[in-house]
Amino acid sequence: DANQIFFTCYQQRDFYDLVDIDSFGGGAPFISTGLWATRTGGLLYLTSTDTRTTSGHNPDHSVQLYGAYARSHPAVHEQGLRLLIGSALQQAASRGLEVRPVFSLFNGHVHRVMLRVGIGGNWPSTHHGFLGYCHHCGHYQTLSWRQLGRSTCPNGMQSLYVAPIPLTVSGPMWLGPLHDRAMLAEMADCADVWGWHKRVKLLNIMQAEADMPPYYFTLAEIGRHGQMDIPRRDRLMMVLRDRGFLVSRTHLDTQAIKTNASIVECIDAAKACHS
């Protein structure tokens, strides 16, 4: 039993530089004990294959596993990673430790997160919170604990006679960077030397998306909400950059972009692609 092994490591003060927990289903049951077996400065590598739970199809089970309520929306591949990191962050903090993502990877139905374990510092309140999504217009926004009572879509009709449109809220989860860009750059250099050209391409995409907002817009959603044909990804990215926005591809979905532009601004840029 993995939990028994991790407890034994802690009791014998036998800590490891890397603890790789390649579990079936949700990885949450092994986070707490996995932390006990990882040395300070070491790496904890977590796995989750329970995409049904992390994609919002079983929110009660999500609360049971991650202490977070997962809802369904178009960026659920990223949500699975952020739930896993958020759960590890909270459990580490309760033990006077901290974790920070080295990299986060989604592939098929598998979520993998490499975390560096350290001595606990201040609670990263700006990086731990909630993600709101509007099913009416496709708008995303992050929410702190104090903003939960005001979680309505700013794009709704501002009328005294029409109630504000509530956001579908998931969380709490990690809202900070998915990856350590400096570490990814070192990994890309190594992969290039070894001739792993596909891995270099993946790592470059991950570097670009690292500090982007904690969600992505699929091209299909932009087309649906804009009531138009789906724009070409690279053309849309170019238009958004020309308008001063940050934008990148994402390894989470080949037909999606990450950007600090709003859904309304993405739709406007997509329409410009067709003009």
- 2-124 and 216-275 in the same fold: no
> To the nearest whole number, what is the mean pLDDT of the chain?
93
250's CB contacts (< 8 A; 6+ apart) are 78, 205, 209, 212, 216, 256, 257, 258
Rg over alpha carbons for the chain, rounded to the nearest Å, is 20
Q: Which two tokens stand for residue 35?
A: 């932390």
Answer yes or no: are the C-beta atoms of 55 and 79 closer than 8 Å.
yes
Q: 157 pLDDT band (50/70/90 cuts)?
A: low
Q: 172 pLDDT band (50/70/90 cuts)?
A: very high
pLDDT of residue 229: 93
Answer yes or no: are the C-beta atoms of 191 and 203 closer than 8 Å.
yes
Residue 275 has pLDDT above 80, yes or no: no
Q: Hey, what CATH topology would domain 216-275 get? A: Phenylalanyl-tRNA Synthetase; Chain B, domain 1 (3.30.56)
Q: Which two tokens stand for residue 65?
A: 């596993």
Residue % of the chain over a pLDDT of 70: 97
pLDDT of residue 158: 53
Q: Hey, what CATH topology would domain 2-124 get? A: Rossmann fold (3.40.50)
Give the strand pairing for 256-259 and 217-218.
antiparallel
CA 3/CA 43 separation, integer angstroms:
17
Residue 159 has pLDDT above 60, yes or no: no
Backbone angles phi, psi at 95, to 5 degrees: -110, 10
Q: 7 pLDDT band (50/70/90 cuts)?
A: confident
- What letter represents residue 263's amino acid? I
Residue 196: other Cβ atoms inside 10 A = 15
Enter the pTM of the model: 0.94
**Mean pLDDT comparison of 28-32, 103-107, 226-230, highest-scoring range:** 103-107
Residue 164 has pLDDT above 90, yes or no: no
Residue 184 has pLDDT above 70, yes or no: yes
127-150 confidence digits (pLDDT tens): 999 999 999 999 999 999 999 888
Residue 253 has pLDDT above 70, yes or no: yes
Residue 119: other Cβ atoms inside 10 A = 9
Domain ranges of the chain: 2-124, 216-275
Q: 12 pLDDT band (50/70/90 cuts)?
A: confident
